[in-house]
């Protein structure tokens, strides 16, 4: 038995130490946002964050994750209360088929967590390992820029809940 911390919760998993994290997430924990794309760490559809860094879950064995924090797209928000990254992708209609989007969002989340002032060049570099065949690249970039603004607003001290949620305030 291995213990994994996924989205802030401890999980006992019965998996061989060399089992890819992707299989444990999907098959044992029922978290389906990370997708199986290539199984070789070349497409990015399986991307999650480990200790704040974007990693390919299809090539990361669970043995390496004990004592580390794994975050999946499900850990960024809920259907009822999407997190800033999820909300930005919804508002910018950045999804076409949606297969690559969870990986794109997790790479962008990792980038903006360590660099809230990311430039377009930074965003492009962070998303470079992720493949999208639908051609929504410009909407994805726009969504990441919007997410950066939403994340900064959500973290700013003294803002009202309605302002953090995107509402306006009168000064």
Using an 8 Å Cβ cutoff, are 46 and 36 in contact? yes
- pLDDT for the residue numbered 168: 32
| Alpha helices by DSSP H, the chain | 21-23, 84-91, 101-114, 120-127, 137-155, 161-164
Q: Give the range of the structural domain holding residue 105, as residue numbers without chain letter.
A: 84-164
- Split at pLDDT 50, 70, 90, the class of 162 is very low
Taking residue 127's Cβ as centre, other Cβ atoms within 10 Å add up to 24
Sequence-distant (6+) residues with CB within 8 A of 31 are 6, 7, 25, 72, 74
Mark residue 51 as left, alpha or beta (left: phi above 0; alpha: psi -120 to 50; beta: remaining).
left
- pLDDT for the residue numbered 156: 55
- pLDDT for the residue numbered 135: 85
Residue 136: which CATH number?
Answer: 1.10.150.120
pTM of the model: 0.87
Digit-coded pLDDT (tens) for 79-105? 999 999 999 999 999 999 889 999 999
Residues 7 and 63 occupy one common structural domain: yes
Checking if the pLDDT of 160 tops 50, the result is no
Residue 37: which CATH number?
Answer: 3.10.20.30
Domain annotation covers residue 169: no
Digit-coded pLDDT (tens) for 18-57? 999 999 999 999 999 999 999 999 999 999 999 999 999 9
The CA angle 6-148-144, to the nearest 5 degrees, is: 80
């Amino acid at each position: 038995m291995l213990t994994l911390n996924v989205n802030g919760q401890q999980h006992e998993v019965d998996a061989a130490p060399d089992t890819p994290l992707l299989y444990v997430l999907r098959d044992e924990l029922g978290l389906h946002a990370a997708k199986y794309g290539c199984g070789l760490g070349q497409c990015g559809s399986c991307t999650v964050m480990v200790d704040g860094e974007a990693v390919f879950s299809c090539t990361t064995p669970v043995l390496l994750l004990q004592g580390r924090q794994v975050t999946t797209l499900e850990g960024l928000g809920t259907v009822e209360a999407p997190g800033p990254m999820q909300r930005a992708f919804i508002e910018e209609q950045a999804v076409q088929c949606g297969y690559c989007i969870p990986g794109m969002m997790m790479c962008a989340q990792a980038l903006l967590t360590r660099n809230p002032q990311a430039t377009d060049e930074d965003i492009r570099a962070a998303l470079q390992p992720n493949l999208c065949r639908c051609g929504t690249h410009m909407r994805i970039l726009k969504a990441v820029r919007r997410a950066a603004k939403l994340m900064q607003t959500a973290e700013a001290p003294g803002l009202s809940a309605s302002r953090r949620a995107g509402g306006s305030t009168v000064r």
